[in-house]
Structure 1
């Protein structure tokens, strides 16, 4: 913009006294020909909305020392200048208010975004916690299921060793755990606890073995025959033919009845003598699966253990 033109400092000072900024005063004087305050003010009126009106122009300023007379300005121009100052002040105030409003809106927007981000983070954390708890619960359930399956498999294997049917025995009579002398025992329908009954059955077979230790073949055959009777009842508790044994039956008499402990072992399993002692009979309501499973285990041990009943009273 420096094209040799100069603005008079005196006119610049007077415009500043009227309230116009220095940059606007110099620009107005430069573009109005630097002739008078009135022309400069009129230029400001015409160009007050120019975007660069408040930019400082690169023009020299002429200082006239000899001229001390104030420039003559009409009242109309003074009023115009006053209106311009008020208008400019009002616009500045409005700009300030708009700026404050923008800052407040921005603050509110940022606050909302932070609040929303916090809410999302809390929700994600809650979902993560729920998922973690669910995974832990599923892991516990899987572990329990593995234990349950292992117990079930062990039960099936035990029944397999006894050649018992793997079916559901929920309809069979079950035993009721009770506490006696600080030991957990199992009561049977006869009022004899299973621990005692198991001991009696084991001792019965030991006696049979000890008193006939010179006839191992017959003893083993007696054990095997008793195991067949026990398995038949355990597999088919509703079949009367397996729950009734004729003592005079030649096969029974030769294999089991020849030994005093043979019929006694069956009586410990729940059989009772009926019809004048001619038969051993197990009433259906006296059938106890746990007793027959224990009997089968004892017989299996007696058959497979060559030292059963020979070394001591405990195997």
Structure 2
């Protein structure tokens, strides 16, 4: 039986003539194994089934002699699988084809393994990039949180300074009122001539004169039950007491009224301009803070 050429063997394995010719030519006529490797590597090429055009001087497939020469070179260079110029029996042809098909399956498995490995490597790269992006986002978030915390710290510090300025103003106002009212009263008393006190019989004495108090001691009960005790000048306005309460309350410093319980009286905005002495809170009184 005549020897089978490489082209015939590949066609016997199920490859089309065009694919077989193209694979043998483009793999350099190095045998069936090289041709099959080329087909496996290029099986996804869109132009794989386009007609093969041999370069000038290439006579692949033109004569049986050239095919036989290519086949002889292929078998001799690879593994001496086919003996030169020897006939193969049907059993030998089947065995040869079986071996080549097994080799092709092995090459395909190797290719699949390479593709799986490449996919794993790509997935690792994607995960690495994802972790790097996650770290960048985390750093940006931490930086933003630091900025927010710094802004809040500055706002809190400014609030403390504002309250401190209000307290200082209250102290200055107290000092000015004390100097204005207390000082002028002292000068007037000193400048007035001393008049002799007439002796009045005990029977003619009426109700004793009301005592004048310069200070007013207030107990103030806040909404949360806290009790404060503070002294004010008797001539200070009730607005000074309200300002003092505002500084002590953190939750709602402005939305409240001041009242007494015995007798019950809720002080109005007009009362805020009146001195404590005029409102009957001297020398001491208890005030309650109530919601508006």
Given the two structures, how large is their TM-score scaled by the length of structure 1?
A: 0.38
- In terms of fraction of residues, the more helix-rich structure is 1
Structure showing greater radius of gyration is 1
Given the two structures, how large is their TM-score scaled by the length of structure 2?
A: 0.40
